[in-house]
Amino acid sequence: MMPAKRTLWLGLGALLLVAAIVAGFLPGPVAVDTAIVTRGPMAVTVEEEGKTRLIDRYVVSAPVAGYARRIELDVGDVVGGGDRLLDLDPLRSDVLDPRRRAEAEAQVASSRSAMMAAEQNAAAARADQELAALELARIEELRIIKYVSEGELDRARAVARAAAATLRSSQFALEVAGHELEAAQTALDYSAASDGSEPLEHVVVRTPVTGRVLRLFRESEGVVASGDPLIELGDPAALEVEVDVLSSDAVKIAPGTRVRFDRWGGGAPLDGVVRVVEPTGFTKISALGVEEQRVLVISDITSPAEAWERLGDGYRVEASFQLWQSDDVLQAPASALFRHTGEWSVFAVEDGRAVLTRVAVGARNGLRVEVLDGLAEGAEVVIHPGDDLAAGVRISRR
């Protein structure tokens, strides 16, 4: 009996030894991170930095060339519609030195001679026109008795019309010569010499809207040309937000999309709505030096004005565009998904092993993904699966 029992124990020991050796060469469980499939609210957003800007800006420019008086306003001052902004006086006359005065006198004499020549030309044209009219009258009488041909009558009429046109032209030339003489005489009579009296006329530039002064292009008095900008006005209470987003995100945003503005300096986030997605894009270099195609999205702030009354033009905000949202969504971490044979899949955890599971997904927001089919609420999935993980492999949770 003893040898048989001894042999039995030796066999069991050898079997355990073989099992231990085999177990030592078998792969151990893979350490993984896991997460639970849950139900809850979910939203898909696009987040970008933006800045506020005035909806309407008004640049008041000089309506005519003139001498602008000093502007007594400062940036931030409130102005009402129709208030006086500044006055424009006529331009100062040039100073005539002896050489320029002699030139002006010569110009007056030249203009007077040109006017006299125009008078003589007009008199000659008037005589030609009277002669042509008399000749036409005689030919018309001769035509009645058929003493001249129809062609001669037509030529006489043409000569009469040409003479009348020449007379009108000479009269216009006479008027032009008169105006040139008047202009030359004015340049001679008026110079920069002044008795200090106020100009006979000036232009009052008034504000077109009620608002605040945003910028002064010039403050001191001086000469301005027609169209030169003087003051920029706007209403800080009428703000909009411009956000440049990637063109690939802009196609997902439509007018009416809800938007939330965070980290603008106030307490609670502000609500808004997209008004315009501009149809043209532009190229922008990112902080990493990558060229990106960007599109401007313009949004209105819908929160009560009292909540953002300290917000001004050009202030920074962070915009979150709400592309999609739901209060009850079966969702899983986006990091659990991977592509397998062209389909989305995950590794579900069942009885300590990884089970390859195909899933149908819906909306994605970068962190979470909507699960349409393949997983149930409470299921455990592996996140960030590595290359050493395969179907059926034992796992251990970190």
Domain assignment present for residue 3? The answer is no
**Cβ pair 358, 374 in contact under 8 A:** yes
Domain assignment present for residue 6? The answer is no
Q: Long-range CB contacts (< 8 A, 24+ apart) of 292-297?
A: 292/246, 293/246, 293/247, 294/244, 294/245, 294/246, 294/247, 295/244, 295/245, 295/246, 295/247, 295/250, 296/242, 296/243, 296/244, 297/242, 297/243, 297/244, 297/245, 297/250, 297/253, 297/321
User: Per-residue pLDDT tens for 51-100?
Assistant: 999 988 889 998 888 888 888 888 888 888 888 888 888 877 666 667 77
Question: What CATH number is associated with residue 268?
Answer: 2.40.30.170
Domain assignment present for residue 20? The answer is no
Do 211 and 73 share a domain, yes or no?
Answer: yes
Do 272 and 351 share a domain, yes or no?
Answer: no
The residue from 204, 234, 264 where one domain ends is 234
The pLDDT, as a whole number, for residue 255 is 95
Do 114 and 252 share a domain, yes or no?
Answer: no
The pLDDT, as a whole number, for residue 319 is 95
Domain that holds residue 243: 45-54+236-327
Domain assignment present for residue 18? The answer is no
Tokens at 289, concatenated? 């030096």
Positive or negative, the CA dihedral 128, 130, 136, 141 is: negative
User: Per-residue pLDDT tens for 272-316?
Assistant: 999 999 999 999 998 888 999 999 999 999 999 888 888 888 999
Do 287 and 255 share a domain, yes or no?
Answer: yes
Domain assignment present for residue 13? The answer is no
Domain assignment present for residue 382? The answer is yes
Give the CA count within 13 Å in the CB-facing half-sphere of 112: 7
In the chain, which stretches have pLDDT less than 70? 1-6, 13, 18-28, 93-97, 190-200
Counting every residue written for the chain, the total comes to 398
Do 67 and 208 share a domain, yes or no?
Answer: yes
Do 63 and 208 share a domain, yes or no?
Answer: yes
Do 292 and 342 share a domain, yes or no?
Answer: no
Tokens at 269, concatenated? 């986030």
Enumerate residues 6+ apart whose C-beta is below 8 A from 301.
Answer: 239, 240, 241, 261, 270, 271, 272, 308
Do 253 and 286 share a domain, yes or no?
Answer: yes
Residue 57: alpha-carbon gap to chain centroid:
13
Do 203 and 81 share a domain, yes or no?
Answer: yes
Do 318 and 240 share a domain, yes or no?
Answer: yes
pTM flag (> 0.85): no
**Cβ pair 41, 326 in contact under 8 A:** yes
Distance CA(130)–CA(8), nearest Å, equals 156
Alpha helices in the chain (DSSP H): 2-25, 98-144, 150-189, 247-250
Domain assignment present for residue 223? The answer is yes
Do 241 and 323 share a domain, yes or no?
Answer: yes
Tokens at 266, concatenated? 């106030």
Do 305 and 242 share a domain, yes or no?
Answer: yes
Domain assignment present for residue 12? The answer is no
- Number of domains, the chain: 4
